[in-house]
Structure 1
Amino acid sequence: MCGIVGVVSPGGPPVEPDLFARMCGALAHRGPDGRGTHLSSSGRGPGAALGHTRLSILDLSPSGRQPMANEDDSVHLTCNGEIYNHAELRAQTEGRGHRYRSRTDVETILHLYEDFGLAAPERLNGMFAFGLWDGRRQELLLARDRAGVKPLYYTCSAGRLAFASELKALLPLPWVSREIDPEALDLYLSLLYIPAPWGIFRDIRKLPAGHRLLWRDGEVKIEPYCGLRNTQLRMTNCELRIEEQKIRHSTFDIRHSPHSKIQNPKFSEAEAAAVLLDHLDRSVRMQLQGDVPAGALLSGGLDSSLIVALMSRRAGRIPTFSIGFRGAGHYDERPHARRVAQLFGTEHVEEEVDARISDLLPAIARAFDEPFGDSSAIPTYLVARTAGRRVKVVLSGTGSDELFGGYRRHAAGPALRAFHCLPTPALRAASALLSMLPGSRTSAFGERILLARRLMDAACERDGRAYLRLVTFLDEGTKEKIWKTRPERSGLVEKLFEDRAAGHDAFLDRALAFDRAVYLPDDLLVKEDRMSMAVSVEGRVPFLDNDLVGFAVALPSSLHAQGRTTKPLLRRAAAGLLPDDIIHRPKHGFGVPISEWLRGDLGGMGRDLLLGPSARLRGLLDAGGVSALWEQHAQRRADLGPALWGLIMLELWHQEYAA
């Protein structure tokens, strides 16, 4: 894992050396093992600067340094990520006469580009974001892996283009304004993260997962390269306007992977489970490659336990890492993780934390570059930090729930259909009754009450958008009350949902389509990348192997949820590898008891940040509206902990970046 940065210009030197050094330095945490740059300038013609900060994983020698070049130094590459099928690709390219200078996996990209040009990313199975400068054609190619594991930001001005692994590396550029994009803020207040292609600043955008960008002579073209539908986003102002350029982004649909060995499965559930396990085992084997030791993040749930089981078969005694919360009861999963660790004889390390985390929050906000309100970033950061004391690489179970239907909300379709038979007044009366019950995230019963409340709210939607109510945190009415300068109600998040769920009618199919296209790449994978990279650890996600993804999304819905049972096929695949009580444990997210913390130890800090005299958001948010939300939560009239946490992280981000 590394950090990449680059600047191209249609004429003259692309960037001042001192400025480029600052841009590279902003990514030092992503690559503490080395730094390299390449400058290509032909006087008045186009010029390019590429930079790289290295976290050494494969081929630790100087030969593995980047940016790296092809045989005649006409093509240069800076890449962040891992190419898991590099051995196969290397044999093929060597067979076509290419010569390698290193044992690194990413060098294969150079030779694939020489052979296949813009089609090179289609042949890669891995997690990656790269910039490739072709000196002969004077073109820049950017590409991002199809699942969106690795990030890539870019900005354009007067024909120039700059890109980087993280937004903070682009901020030193004099043409980048820190003006907040109101559409991005609107989406954040709904989702608590900002989906691609939006960026929090008007001048910076994200390259969507599975897309490539081609720059030539100051002109930019962005298009999907694989596994994507060519339909256009149907949204207000979704075109990126920078120096009057109009770049239209296509939607992400990971269903049609050419690497999938099965498009219309016709076999039994038992056979499907066997194929699933075979794909996952192969993915774990491929992702264990490297010249440094690897460990696993272990919660004791089905996904991470299955990864540990397969790793142990391949690598023997592995390090595993867990985190727990003092006095949090239901939230503390350490006993389950400990049991799995003992079962497979791992070198298990665990850490205990409590609500005294205020000192961590500025660093977490700084690491994300954009507002990010998913409170599970806290344990993700802490467990990555713990792991980083022992290993450079960790594998996790991220992606399983989105592929195989792992969230309780995925199984909510039957309940919602039953609720839809009731008249709306009856639903609202039931919702009011539920609000009187003691909902809490610190117990299984309390969580069921909270889920029931959300289901009642979602059931009031009659137009197929019920799922959206389950995954948003501030509705349109609330946003109008707290956002002083909000433009007219745009319904942007609804349009985003309808676009990403287009082509699906059933509740579960629409839910999975949205989670795979938006929640997975723009929340979960962002969280895993930033929190692991903040402590110079590479996170790998075996469930997002190309073949496994292609297999999973081709399965019928009946194998993703059966009644109230989530992930039935994955549970069947785990039989024989894991104990039944681990296989059938109810889903418990990797979260923190943030709602209770904000009513307790974190309450004072949170209230001061949002309502105190130094609150930077005063120009954006209405203090009276925010205060009303706080009181509703404090008095347990509503569970607004996640939404309030999102506002707290917005304030901390604003202090760090928007001041």
Structure 2
Amino acid sequence: MCGINGIFRYGVETPKIDIEQIIATRDSMYNRGPDGAGLWLSDCGSVGFGHRRLAIIELSELGAQPMHTADGHLSITFNGEIYNHNELRRNLESKGFSFRSHSDTEVLLHLYRDIGIEMVNQLRGMFAFALWDNRNRKLIIARDPYGIKPVYYSNINGVFRFASQVKALVAGSGIDCSINPAALISFLLWGSVSEPLTLYENINALPAGHVLEIDYLGRQSIYQYWNINTVINTSYSAASAIPADIAKELAKAAIRDSVKAHMVADVPVGSFLSAGLDSATITGLAQELVPEPVSAITLAFEEFSGRSLDEAPVATEIASILGVKHQVVTSSMSHVETELAMFLDAMDQPTIDGINTWLVSKAAKSNGLKVVLSGLGGDEMLGGYNTFEAIPEIINKLSPYNSNPTINNLFFYIHAFIAKSFKGLNPNNSDCLNMASNITSAYQLQKGLFMPWELPNIIDRDLLKIGLSQLTKINIFESVDDIQSDFGKIVALESKKYMRNQLLRDTDWIGMAHSLEIRVPLVDHILLFNLVGSAATGKLGNKKEILPQSLTAKLDDRIVNRPKTGFTIPIWRWLNQSPAFSSWKRNKYLTNKNIIPNKRWAYCVLEHFPGASNYLK
């Protein structure tokens, strides 16, 4: 896991790039790779790569980057891990390719030489890389199917820049940081910025499962090589012919296989452990694969002690059953206050989530870990969230009414009046009629932050009009209309909207802020294909019960059937009681303690991105 960046100047008369900009961008990402720094400039001076290294595979200097083929025709800077690199290496060696290292990066170079960019379809892992093809004089940027690893870019006035973080691109200078109205509105609607947008107009994210190519004349193309909608439909069709008992056995084998793949490393691999089935399963399977005890970290809060939200007692019991080395890290309001400034300074794009991940990541790092496994992804793939039940219920109950435009309009004006005149009320559920017309809008009702009818009261109307118009450009990318099952549609929405734009993105920048690689075995495109169809057809049982069934050690039914509490934090107390937040409450909206905490927190977050809060009323 690393930080990558680079600059490519294209055109007929191309001036040489400013190497200091590459260095400034690279070194702003020091925490992403404290184990080493690399720099490469092409002979022609039109392309240069930077790299910060966190050594996980091939710890020697043979794994240093940027890396090149022996003839110098191919150069790469790579962030992530390729879990099947050993299998790919053996296949390439059978074709006559020779290797100098054990690095997965070198595998990428030879694989590209063998089959070109179609190589992305053979990779299992999390990755973002930039490859310079000198023979064809083109730059290629690629990102893993789910978008676990990010890469951001700008393309202005003949200069193409890329980096692992938005703030790194800004640190390199040369980019206008005007606020993107669509991104700001996206954040208010969802609590995160929807890709491919970023908060800044001139910086974009390469979408998940996409490849970007740009040649020496500046001709740029972006295309999608992996589509979650297609995978869900294919898996759903295949599952129809599989008996339930066989489907369960195949699912358990696939879960074990994914965890095994994610254990590939030349350093110890630890785990985050909550009271949930996801992390318990991942931790238990990891322990089954190694002889020494796995280090498992649990985050607890003083404010939850003795309450149902306290996951530490159950996590401790699970750790004892699994036989792992367990540590409970207890945090408090005062502790979070000391961390808050660092958390916000490191935040790469605005998000209303992540403080919990920050605290547990810091604890893992302080325990000497460089790699940990996370249970992220199980809810999205197996229907663990209440959205899988609530959304169909809303649509079924209200479908007889939502086709009447007169009633719809009446409800819209009623809730708009409520939102404008009674800000102490939470109007999110007052527009069920309008928002229940389809799964996508019902999902927004369930998971959105601010509702669309609230926006005119909190943001400049001219900016709102521009931003909403621009947001329509990403509707096709996020569409789920072509998915066959309602279950599959919600899987895709949870994966595209919530997991990719918030959970995975936060996991990346937060883990990297602590020089910690966080791996997510349940966010794996091969595992998705093997499980989601059977989950959609009900052949894997209730929600996530298939996960602990894949363990050799058996968890007590009381643990398996424990109500979901979520990986949560006592943010309402911090907002209402902590003096650390008092200086941010400049807006009367924030001082109203009846407003739900996440909305107030969104205002606080925007205060720390220059220019963003200027557009709020």
Of the three residues 486, 499, 512, the one matched with 1:533 is 512
Q: Which residue of 1 aligns with 2:358?
A: 381
Q: After superposing the two structures, state which structure 1 stretch, 304-313 or 279-288, moved more.
A: 279-288
Q: Deviations over 1:58-77 (max 9, x none)?
A: 11111110111113121011
Tell me how far apart the structure 2 counterparts of residues 571 and 391 of structure 1 sit (CA, whole Å).
25
CA distance change for structure 1 residues 412 and 383 in 2, over 3 Å: closer, same or farther? same
Shift of residue 553, structure 1, vs aligned partner: 3.3
Tell me how far apart the structure 2 counterparts of residues 538 and 9 of structure 1 sit (CA, whole Å).
32
Of the three residues 258, 263, 266, the one matched with 1:288 is 263
Tell me how far apart the structure 1 counterparts of residues 511 and 613 of structure 2 sit (CA, whole Å).
21
Residue 647 of structure 1 pairs with residue 603 of structure 2: yes
Shift of residue 121, structure 1, vs aligned partner: 1.1
Q: After superposing the two structures, state which structure 1 stretch, 183-192 or 166-175, moved more.
A: 166-175
Shift of residue 131, structure 1, vs aligned partner: 0.5
Q: Deviations over 1:164-204 (max 9, x none)?
A: 00112211444301100000001000001011110111110
Of the three residues 19, 22, 25, the one matched with 2:24 is 22
Shift of residue 586, structure 1, vs aligned partner: 1.9
Q: Deviations over 1:621-650 (max 9, x none)?
A: xx4xxx14642xx1x4x5x11111111111
Aligned partners of 2:63 and 2:105 also within 8 Å: no
Q: Aligned AA for 2:514? A: V
SS of corresponding position for 2:231: coil
Q: Aligned AA for 1:537? A: L
Q: Aligned AA for 1:482? A: I
Aligned partners of 1:319 and 1:346 also within 8 Å: yes
Q: How does 1:392-541 map to 2 (within 5 A)?
A: 392-417=370-395, 419-420=397-398, 458=432, 461-464=435-438, 465-484=441-460, 486-488=463-465, 490=468, 499-504=478-483, 507-541=486-520
Q: Which residue of 2 aligns with 1:441?
A: none
Listed as ranges, the gaps of 5+ residues in structure 2 are: 419-425
CA distance change for structure 1 residues 571 and 320 in 2, over 3 Å: closer, same or farther? closer
Aligned partners of 2:21 and 2:173 also within 8 Å: no
% identity of equivalent residues: 30
Q: Which residue of 2 aligns with 1:438?
A: none
Q: Aligned AA for 2:75? A: H
Of the three residues 563, 566, 583, the one matched with 1:586 is 563
CA distance change for structure 1 residues 468 and 572 in 2, over 3 Å: closer, same or farther? farther
CA distance change for structure 1 residues 155 and 335 in 2, over 3 Å: closer, same or farther? same
Aligned partners of 1:130 and 1:143 also within 8 Å: yes
Query: Given the two structures, how large is their TM-score scaled by the length of structure 2?
Result: 0.88
Aligned partners of 2:152 and 2:206 also within 8 Å: yes
Residue 333 of structure 1 pairs with residue 311 of structure 2: yes
Once superposed, what is the RMSD of the aligned Cα atoms?
Answer: 3.0
Q: Deviations over 1:578-618 (max 9, x none)?
A: 3222222222221212223323x23x44342130xxxxxxx
Q: Deviations over 1:316-367 (max 9, x none)?
A: 3110001111122333211111111111221111111112223322322222
Aligned partners of 2:281 and 2:548 also within 8 Å: no
Q: Which residue of 1 aligns with 2:351?
A: 372
Of the three residues 541, 549, 566, the one matched with 2:543 is 566
SS of corresponding position for 2:319: helix
Q: Which residue of 2 aligns with 1:597?
A: 574
Of the three residues 321, 334, 349, the one matched with 2:297 is 321
Aligned partners of 1:38 and 1:67 also within 8 Å: yes
Aligned partners of 1:210 and 1:225 also within 8 Å: yes
CA distance change for structure 1 residues 206 and 495 in 2, over 3 Å: closer, same or farther? closer
Q: Aligned AA for 1:462? A: A
SS of corresponding position for 1:161: strand
Q: Which residue of 1 aligns with 2:338?
A: 359
Shift of residue 97, structure 1, vs aligned partner: 1.3
Aligned partners of 1:467 and 1:507 also within 8 Å: no
Q: After superposing the two structures, state which structure 1 stretch, 405-414 or 308-317, moved more.
A: 405-414
Shift of residue 481, structure 1, vs aligned partner: 0.8
CA distance change for structure 1 residues 607 and 6 in 2, over 3 Å: closer, same or farther? same
Shift of residue 3, structure 1, vs aligned partner: 0.5
Q: Aligned AA for 2:132? A: W
Shift of residue 225, structure 1, vs aligned partner: 4.3
Q: Aligned AA for 1:141? A: I
Q: Aligned AA for 2:2? A: C
Aligned partners of 1:52 and 1:66 also within 8 Å: yes
Aligned partners of 1:6 and 1:50 also within 8 Å: yes
Q: Deviations over 1:96-120 (max 9, x none)?
A: 1111121111211101110111211
CA distance change for structure 1 residues 656 and 470 in 2, over 3 Å: closer, same or farther? closer
Aligned partners of 1:158 and 1:218 also within 8 Å: no
Q: Aligned AA for 1:578? A: L
CA distance change for structure 1 residues 656 and 188 in 2, over 3 Å: closer, same or farther? closer
